[in-house]
Structure 1
Amino acid sequence: MKPDWYPAWRDEAIEQLNAKNDRLQKEFRLGSWSRYDYDVATRRLLFAKDGDVKVTAEVQIAGSTSAKSQSWLWAWANSNWPDNVMIDAKRVRSFGETNSIDELTQTYVTDVDDDLEVLGWELSAVAVRICDALGAYRSPSAEGDARYYIIKSISWAG
């Protein structure tokens, strides 16, 4: 179930995320660092080269994809995460409840198009739009398994 306006609104969210991520790639070279680490305690992604942290980003977890289940799992439904890393994911669920959008309120979203990466980016785009975030980041994928982060702030280290 979803309102009539949602498909177009979602498409706009995807376009907006593409523009935001292009800017993050240009300004911070996101996606090109040789290493990244996630610090759960500080809710930060640390991007490094040759052992030196170059860029830090404050993030929230949107969700993750699983090749085994061929689905997306919202962070708010994953009991492995502490509450403080899924505040924005809970906002997405609340938006879905308010507007009767099933894919935002169901624990799992099935990959009907057989492209988990596309599904992950699409749902992350919706989360970024709802939460007015700067962009999103996907952990390097391991055969369809990936984690998607909502970027709240970002800066050069040091």
Structure 2
Amino acid sequence: MKHPEYNEFAKFCLHELIELQDDFKSRYDIDGYEDWFYNQSNGLLTFSTEEDQINFRYLLAGTFSKRSNTWKWSWDNENIMPEVKKEVSSVKNFGYQSEFEKLTNGCFESDEEEAWELTAITARLTKGIGVYRPASEDLLTFMVIQEFVDNETAQAIKDKYVECGAHEYRRRAFVCNHLNYRDKIGFEESFETYENMQLEDDDDFQDWCNECEKVRQKEDGWNDNSMAFADIKVICEQCYFDMKELNLGYR
């Protein structure tokens, strides 16, 4: 049963969202694009028509299943990547402070109308500029758009990600060509790393084996000779940490 104050708050947020969405669509005309694509790894939502495109950062508030008639918050969904759900935890924290159970229960029976209310609350609490719900038959995904990203910046973000046969689309990492998934041959990093860490714009995950480190020290750093010996290759972030686990057993 809804808390009376929650019911009033949810309706207020939904009314606010209607005005917010009108302004958002008027400003960016997202309905004028033919295609859409979102990526949980880099947190970008892209609308495009041929070579013309527009990009936004987004959060994934949650999903509504038409089959089970349930809402599931993104922070309670292990299949949703951290980049697009970490800030949604602020909604849960607000729910605890206000004693609004709908904001603290990870999954519960619901309907599509309420899913829009929950998305509206998320938009208000995370200062969203609009919302988007991609077309889908069974599982509806509700996104809160955070900010516009110019195409140059968006491309720079996308360039930091690679397709991986094992882990789909993840951040890129650079390792020497000697590292593999069988042998413990050392793991020398350019800086200490951990999974899902935030990187500075100019940083990448970088690692090389013990033999590469010997050559690097002999050459007094990275130069043509040490780089040629390392023969750097690009892998995804998850592959990087799988190799790190093999060599260091850090998990």
- Which bin holds the TM-score, normalised by the shorter protein? 0.7 to 0.9
Rounded to whole Å, the distance in 1 between the matches of 2:87 and 2:62 is 11
Code of the residue aligned with 1:22 in structure 2: it is D
Partner-residue secondary structure (3-state), 2:24 = helix
The alpha-carbon deviation at position 98 of structure 1 amounts to 1.3
> Aligned pair in 2 of structure 1 residues 151, 89: CA closer, same or farther (>3 Å)?
same
- The 8 Å contact of residues 43 and 57 in structure 2, kept in 1 or not, is answered as yes
Code of the residue aligned with 1:150 in structure 2: it is V
- The 8 Å contact of residues 62 and 88 in structure 1, kept in 2 or not, is answered as no
- The 8 Å contact of residues 133 and 151 in structure 1, kept in 2 or not, is answered as yes
1:130 pairs with 125, 133, 141, which one?
Answer: 125
Whether 2:53 is the aligned partner of 1:39: answer no
5+ residue gaps, structure 2: 153-251
Could you state the TM-score of these two structures normalised by the residue count of structure 2? Answer: 0.56
> Aligned pair in 2 of structure 1 residues 3, 65: CA closer, same or farther (>3 Å)?
closer
Rounded to whole Å, the distance in 1 between the matches of 2:33 and 2:114 is 24
- Which is higher, the Rg of structure 1 or of structure 2? 2
Match of 2:11 in 1: 11
Whether 2:66 is the aligned partner of 1:67: answer yes
Can you list the C-alpha shifts for 1:59-97, whole angstroms capped at 9, x where unaligned? 011001111111111000100122221122211111111
Partner-residue secondary structure (3-state), 1:93 = helix
Code of the residue aligned with 1:83 in structure 2: it is P
The alpha-carbon deviation at position 3 of structure 1 amounts to 4.7
Code of the residue aligned with 1:44 in structure 2: it is L
Rounded to whole Å, the distance in 2 between the matches of 1:139 and 1:34 is 13
5+ residue gaps, structure 1: none
> Aligned pair in 2 of structure 1 residues 45, 53: CA closer, same or farther (>3 Å)?
farther
Correspondence list, 1:105-144, <5 A? 105-111=104-110, 115-116=111-112, 118-143=113-138
- The 8 Å contact of residues 58 and 152 in structure 1, kept in 2 or not, is answered as yes
Higher RCO (CA 8 Å, separation ≥ 6 residues): 1
The alpha-carbon deviation at position 57 of structure 1 amounts to 0.7
Correspondence list, 1:48-67, <5 A? 48-50=48-50, 52-67=51-66
Code of the residue aligned with 2:129 in structure 1: it is L
Match of 2:100 in 1: 101
